[in-house]
């Protein structure tokens, strides 16, 4: 087992809970970076740039050494249109309305790096999700709970948003924000074993 500290470059309570669930001893540090998507780049290129920027920001602004840094970013794709976090309640309503009755894809990019050696691995995971048909009143009620505010696609599958999900193909935890099977295989490259 590696004796390096683990740093989660994220302010996401969901990712925090998932690492706790795995029994990892880690510290969460919030990165402050621009998470803007550039249309001239692919989804994977955007996710790579954002996750790498998160990890580098945390490393450079916290004088970190002897640690492994994990960062992740999640987006929702509906017919190749990127749905990130909603700008406001109107944006959230429009996103949820567009997801109603349709399949969409949730893509999470995961970046792991060693702060000392600069060894890095980036991978992404895609999960397909089908929403049931939603009424306008249901969408408005959901938005009023505040759960949509900081979530890609304006919903959280681990919360009240779960009642919108009719079907899922792929990794559930990927939709929450961190594909655990993928992360576990990536950590092995840094001599960190979950079990």
Taking a C-beta distance cutoff of 8 angstroms, is the pair 175, 168 a contact? Answer: yes
Q: What is the DSSP letter of 62?
A: T
Residue tagged active-site, from 25, 44, 73, 136:
73
Give the SS3 label for residue 24.
coil
Q: Which CATH number fits domain 5-188: 2.60.40.1170, 3.30.1280.10, 3.40.50.1400, 3.90.950.10?
A: 3.90.950.10
Distance between CA atoms of residues 127 and 172, nearest Å: 8
Q: Which residue has the tokens 């749905």?
A: 83
Going by pLDDT thresholds of 50, 70 and 90, the confidence category of residue 3 is confident
pTM higher than 0.85? yes
pLDDT in tens, 141-184: 999 999 999 888 999 999 999 999 999 999 999 999 999 999 99
Distance between CA atoms of residues 195 and 192, nearest Å: 9
Residue 146 neighbours by CB distance under 10 Å: 9
The yes-or-no answer on residue 73 being catalytic is yes
Distance between CA atoms of residues 45 and 59, nearest Å: 21
pLDDT in tens, 74-129: 999 999 888 888 999 999 999 999 999 999 999 999 999 999 998 999 999 999 99
């Amino acid at each position: 087992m590696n004796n390096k500290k683990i740093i989660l470059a994220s302010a996401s309570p969901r990712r925090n809970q998932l690492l706790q669930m795995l029994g990892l001893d880690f510290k969460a540090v919030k990165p402050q970076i621009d998470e803007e998507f550039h249309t001239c780049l692919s989804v994977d290129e955007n996710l790579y740039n954002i996750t790498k920027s998160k990890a580098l920001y945390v490393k450079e602004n916290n004088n970190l050494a002897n640690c492994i840094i994990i960062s992740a970013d999640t987006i929702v794709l509906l017919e190749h249109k990127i749905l990130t976090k909603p700008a406001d309640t109107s944006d959230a309503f429009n996103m949820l309305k567009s997801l109603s009755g349709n399949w969409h894809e949730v893509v999470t990019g995961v970046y792991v790096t060693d702060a000392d050696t600069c060894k890095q691995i980036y991978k992404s995971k895609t999960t397909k999700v089908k929403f049931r048909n939603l009424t306008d009143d249901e969408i408005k009620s959901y938005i009023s709970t505040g759960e949509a505010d900081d979530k890609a696609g304006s919903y959280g599958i681990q919360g009240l948003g779960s009642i919108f999900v009719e079907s899922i193909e792929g990794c559930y935890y990927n939709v929450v924000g961190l594909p655990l099977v993928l992360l576990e295989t990536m950590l092995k490259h840094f001599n960190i074993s979950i079990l």
